[in-house]
Amino acid sequence: MESRLRVQGHPIQPMLVTFPFGLFVSAAVLDLADVAGGPAFLGEVGYWTAVAALVAAALAAVAGLVDLWDARADRTRRTAVTVNLVNAAMAALFLLTCLMRADAPERGATGVELATELLALAVGSVGVWLGARLVRQFDRGRASEQAGLERLADLPASTVEIIRPPA
């Protein structure tokens, strides 16, 4: 699967996915500290970190959908669709906790909300594993393509014909 959105030859979507996942982990750690009896402001910082992660997840989802737009229907596409669905499920669970906390005065987390966030991180970990597998599949395909082109360089000059347009 060839990514349509690239920076210097590297697909953007795998890069974008790291931001929401890291922010979701940070939000869960802050909420864990809040639930464990830390200062109350940790819950609010955790809430806003989760909101920032949701924004980043939306951007990563758009990049993922652009990459899927004209991909061939094969195993790689199925894996990519699964990665996007798993990431969307993680974001949906965090959205649920954010909506539950939105009206609270200090937006601190409860034990149930923290458990939901930890479940979301477990789901997201599956998405990270599948995404890494997808990148490896993509890199393997690119490496064999490069090896094929490099084999052309080993051919004698008389074997390789350069086709030029008529003048």
**Residues 21, 31: Cα–Cα separation, whole Å:** 15
Beta bridge partners of 128: none
| Residue 4: pLDDT band with limits 50, 70, 90 | low
- Would you say residue 161 lies in a domain? no
Alpha-carbon radius of gyration of the chain: 22
Q: CB count, 10 Å around CB of 151?
A: 9
Q: How many domains does the chain have?
A: 1
Average pLDDT over residues 140-152: 51
| Residue 160: pLDDT band with limits 50, 70, 90 | very low
- Show the domain range for 111: 6-153
Average pLDDT over residues 126-153: 65
- Would you say residue 159 lies in a domain? no
- Would you say residue 92 lies in a domain? yes
Average pLDDT over residues 140-163: 51
- Would you say residue 1 lies in a domain? no
The proportion of the chain whose per-residue pLDDT surpasses 70, expressed as a percent, equals 74
Q: Is the pLDDT of residue 165 over 60?
A: no
Q: Is the pLDDT of residue 144 over 70?
A: no
Coil, strand, or helix at residue 164?
Answer: coil
Cα separation of the two ends of the chain: 37
Q: Is the pLDDT of residue 138 over 80?
A: no
Q: How many CA atoms lie within 13 A of 127 on its CB side?
A: 27
Average pLDDT over residues 32-40: 92
| Residue 145: pLDDT band with limits 50, 70, 90 | very low
Q: Is the pLDDT of residue 7 over 50?
A: yes
Write phi, then psi, for 4 (nearest 5 degrees): -80, -30
Average pLDDT over residues 11-21: 82
**CATH code for the domain of 86:** 1.20.120
Average pLDDT over residues 96-120: 90
- Would you say residue 167 lies in a domain? no
- Would you say residue 91 lies in a domain? yes
Tens digit of each residue's pLDDT (9 = 90 or more) over 57-75: 999 888 888 877 766 777 7
Largest CA distance in the chain: 80
- Would you say residue 113 lies in a domain? yes
- Would you say residue 66 lies in a domain? yes
pLDDT for res 166 = 60
CA dist list (Å): 130 to 7, 81, 96, 126, 127: 22, 10, 24, 6, 5
* Residue matched to tokens 């490069």: 146
Average pLDDT over residues 7-12: 70
